[in-house]
Amino acid sequence: MGGNFLSVPGKGLREWLIQRVTAVYLGVYTFFIMVCVFALPATYSVWHNLFANFWLVIINTFMLVCVLWHAWIGGWTIITDYVSVPYLRDLCKLLLIVFLLALFLWGLQIFWHIHAVGRI
């Protein structure tokens, strides 16, 4: 019984569940941000202080992880479904990983720099 080492039982269900859980978190996060948009004054100092709050930095970082995880599963699915040439498929996956990693590092720099600068 020689199978592909990537064919882990339940992997599809796990990915499906991760997609749904991250989508729910992103929906709740979006609702929270929209409440802030309509409830808070639109001044730089208010928004800077809001996003400099340690707990919101943690929430934003988790949001970033959810977005990128959601994007990885979606991108991986599209690549494996529509790119049939093995080396091109691997190249596309590698480029997607590099792109998502760059976005992750950039997002961390933005969120944690705001927190490090402090409140106005």
Residue 53 DSSP symbol: S
| pLDDT score recorded for residue 120 | 52
Q: Residue 119's Cα: distance from chain center in Å? A: 26
The letter for the amino acid at 61 is: T
Q: What angle do CA 27, 32, 37 make, to 5 degrees?
A: 120
Q: How far apart are CA 86 and CA 36, in angstroms?
A: 46
Q: Which fold has domain 13-118?
A: 3 helical TM bundles of succinate and fumarate reductases (1.20.1300)
Q: Would the pTM count as exceeding 0.85?
A: no
Whether residue 8 has pLDDT greater than 80: no
Whether residue 114 has pLDDT greater than 80: no
Element at 41 (helix H, strand E): none
Per-residue pLDDT of 35-60, as tens digits, reads: 999 999 989 999 888 888 899 999 99
Whether residue 87 has pLDDT greater than 70: yes
